Every structure is written in C-alpha cells, then in structure tokens.
Amino acid sequence: MNKQENVKIDGIDKILLNGLMQNARMSINQLSKQVGISGAAVHQRIKKLEKSGLIEGSQITINPKQLGYTTLAFVGIYLDKAMNNPSAVTQLKKINEVIECHFTTGDWSVLVKILCKDNEHLMNLLNNQIQKIPGISRTETFISLNQQIGRQITL
C-alpha cells in the first residue's frame, strides 16, 4: 500500500493501536484478550498496520532528566540563503543535543529542539557549535519551562 494513502482502520484496529500507544511492550496475548480475537489474528492485524506505514515502529522513552539533561530549548535558525538548508542540517545532525530538526514557514528556515544539561551548556552549544555553522546568520532561542502536553494523534 502506498504510504501516502489514508489507511482504513476499524474498531479492533483502534483498540490495538491505542493499547500499543499506551504500552508498546504489551504482549500479543494481552491485546488478544482486550479485543476478543486470537493472538494470530492480532499479529496479522499489527503486521498489516506496520506494512501500511501507519505504525512506524516502537520505542523506549528515556527520561532525559535522569541523565542530567534539565534544559529543553527550541531554537529558530535564520539562514543566509535557502540553498544553505541541506548543509546546515547536515552539520546540525552531528550535534547530539539536537533531538529534532524541522524546516519551517515564517521567519526561520529551520527550527530545532535541543536537550542540554543546563543553561550554561545551552549557551556553549549555541555560541560554539550552532552559530558557527556556515550559512547560519542568527538564532532565536526559547527555553521550555515545563512541557504541559505530550501525546500522539488520537484515533
């Protein structure tokens, strides 16, 4: 199936997906009991959803604060020229603290999400790495005080 097409899901698929979104490590047996169909049928449905592109994978979520990363910031990046986008992103990929990177509309060319140990770490990263990337003319930084919502799309 083409990943650009809308995927058709039924009520059982929604129950399975909601269960997996709450706990990606939920067993086929547990899911099977929730929806009242065999484990083999659950397995087939999950494989179908993966093949369709609706399920992109599963992951463990690390709590960055437990590793000492207490500062989360969003940095809007202004580039000299749009043609600098690919090379700037290539350089941003080399910075481990950059955990997301998005091309945007509006004033910025790129918006990045950064995790740092503290504000000093963030300042060092901005001054000594990000702002030294060729093509970046300036940055605008917003520090997150506390994330209020973190969720996936609802089914």
C-alpha distances out from residue 64 to 24, 37, 48, 59, Å: 19, 38, 33, 15
- Residue 100 one-letter amino acid: E
């990337």: which residue's tokens?
Answer: 133
pLDDT value of position 118: 98
What letter represents residue 155's amino acid?
A: L
Tell me the pLDDT tens digit for each residue of 17-72: 999 999 999 999 999 999 999 999 999 999 999 999 999 988 888 999 999 999 99
CA separation for the pair 120, 73 (Å, rounded): 12
What's the burial of 21, exposed, middle or buried (CB within 10 Å: 0-12/13-18/19+)? middle
pLDDT, the chain, mean? 93
Please determine, for residue 4, whether its predicted confidence score (pLDDT) is greater than 60.
no
Structural domain boundaries in the chain: 11-52, 64-144
Helices (H) and strands (E) in the chain, counts: 5, 4
Alpha helices in the chain (DSSP H): 11-22, 28-35, 39-52, 85-93, 119-128
Q: Which CATH class is domain 64-144?
A: alpha beta
Distance CA 137, CA 11 (A): 50
- Pick the closest to residue 78 from 144, 133, 143 (CA basis): 133
- Which amino acid, 43? H
| pLDDT tens figures, 107-125 | 999 999 999 999 999 999 9
- Give the span between the Cα atoms of 115 and 63, in whole angstroms: 11
Q: What percent of the chain has pLDDT over 70?
A: 97
CATH architecture of 11-52: Orthogonal Bundle (1.10)
